[in-house]
């Protein structure tokens, strides 16, 4: 069921949002460990799972906050398993490979015993998130060649950084689709015009198919990347990717790893609907007009996902997800939102 909501007045970059969630969770975990001497790892895991549900309730399309919670959950589970000994580590490995259904009893581990290990692991996670954009732009720049023509859509902070990094060592052309109705492509054009090595031009979304035959590659971003290679991306992305497929143009999606969600593409995924007044010159009281902010792009249209971890083919997304999240946290039940649901607002 699609849900309607107004976009936030000011949006953080995805790595900033993820770092914010991780910092707040770290503080909450420390308070819980200090305040309750009898707390166990199971209590901490349940608390963070409730936070993930609360994040989904506040913004259904915000996968970054939920994924940040999942990263913290994996840290808690791994450190708890480590403290239980070799037999528990073997069982955890078997669980992740779907060979065992016997659950690990996290209630046997005292929360206080995990304090130092969890704190150190969360610091490493924070550093990874802080440097994710720098790593992403270095990996992405390697895919742009001399004198190539690159097509992009609207404004994306990560795509802009990749293009700027590539322009430091080579000259190329960038065609920017204006991405109506918000026309963020104009902002991208103004930014790229300040880079001498980039020959940037702006076209309307409708002209994307006409210029695709002279494009070497498409470089886009995504709001969320699903496990099967589908996307939740800026409106207009689906049509652009269909044009690229028709002309056999490779499509690269620049996305930090914390945007990879352990869920599958569906047209029923949550979306954001903007005020249709931006599309209409007059009020049409007899018509119901929908103005979605995002396209829900089906899998099979992206050639390569460029992340801070390197390039990932769509078929390898499952492996990356398994490395980032624990399988028990792929799905988080909304019924867990009772209790500490609002602690991130502290």
> For 224-267, how does the pLDDT look when each residue is reduced to its tens digit (9 = 90+)?
999 999 999 999 999 999 999 999 999 999 999 999 999 998 87
In total, how many domains does the chain have? 2
Same domain, 192 and 126: no
Residues of the chain with pLDDT under 70: 1-11, 86-102, 334-346
Same domain? 21 vs 152: no
| 293 domain residue, yes or no | yes
Domain stops at, among 131, 153, 172: 131
- The secondary element (H helix, E strand) that includes residue 318 is helix 317-324
Q: Give strand pairing partners of 231.
A: 225, 297
Tell whether 293 and 160 lie within a shared domain: yes
* pLDDT (0 to 100) of residue 95: 53
Name the nearest CA neighbour of 324 among 139, 95, 74, 104. Answer: 74
Asked if residue 9 belongs to a domain, the reply is no
**Residue 295 pairs with which residues in a beta bridge?**
233
Same domain, 181 and 67: no
In this structure, what DSSP letter does residue 134 have?
A: H
Could you say which of 131, 158, 178 is where a domain stops? 131
Identify whether residues 173 and 266 lie together within a single domain.
yes
Domain assignment present for residue 195? The answer is yes
Judge whether 338 lies within some domain.
no
How many CB atoms within 10 Å of residue 181? 18
Q: Rounded CA gap, 229 and 273, in Å?
A: 23
What domain range includes position 89? Answer: 14-131
Sequence-distant (6+) residues with CB within 8 A of 320 are 257, 260, 307, 309, 312
Same domain, 110 and 248: no
């Amino acid at each position: 069921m699609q849900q309607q909501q107004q976009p936030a007045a000011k949006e953080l970059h995805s790595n900033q949002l993820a770092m914010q969630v991780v910092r707040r969770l770290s503080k909450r975990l420390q308070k819980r460990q200090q305040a309750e001497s009898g707390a166990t790892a199971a209590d901490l895991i349940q608390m963070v799972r409730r936070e993930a549900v609360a994040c989904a309730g506040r913004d259904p399309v915000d996968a970054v906050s939920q994924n940040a919670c999942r990263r913290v959950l994996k840290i808690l589970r791994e450190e708890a398993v480590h403290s239980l000994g070799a037999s528990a580590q073997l069982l955890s490995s078997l669980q992740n490979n779907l060979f065992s259904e016997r659950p690990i009893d996290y209630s046997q581990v005292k929360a206080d015993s995990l304090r130092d290990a969890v704190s150190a692991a969360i610091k490493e996670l924070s550093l990874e998130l802080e440097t994710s954009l720098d790593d992403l732009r270095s990996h992405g720049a390697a895919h742009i060649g001399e004198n190539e023509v690159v097509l992009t859509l609207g404004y994306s902070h990560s795509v802009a950084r990749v293009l700027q990094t590539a322009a430091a060592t080579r000259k190329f052309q960038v065609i920017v689709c204006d991405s109506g109705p918000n026309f963020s492509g104009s902002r991208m054009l103004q930014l790229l015009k300040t880079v001498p090595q980039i020959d940037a031009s702006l076209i309307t979304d409708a002209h994307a198919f006409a210029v695709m035959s002279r494009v070497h590659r498409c470089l886009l971003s995504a709001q969320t990347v699903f496990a099967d290679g589908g996307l939740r991306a800026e409106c207009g992305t689906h049509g652009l990717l269909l044009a690229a497929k028709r002309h056999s143009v490779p499509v690269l999606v620049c996305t930090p790893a914390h945007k990879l969600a352990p869920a599958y593409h569906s047209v029923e995924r949550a979306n954001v609907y903007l005020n249709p007044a931006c599309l209409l010159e007059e009020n049409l009281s007899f018509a119901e007009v929908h103005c979605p902010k995002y396209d829900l792009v089906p899998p099979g249209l992206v050639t390569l996902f460029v992340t801070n971890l390197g390039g990932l083919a769509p078929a390898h997304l499952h492996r990356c997800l398994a490395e980032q999240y624990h399988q028990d946290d792929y799905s988080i039940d909304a019924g867990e939102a009772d209790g500490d649901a609002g602690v991130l607002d502290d």
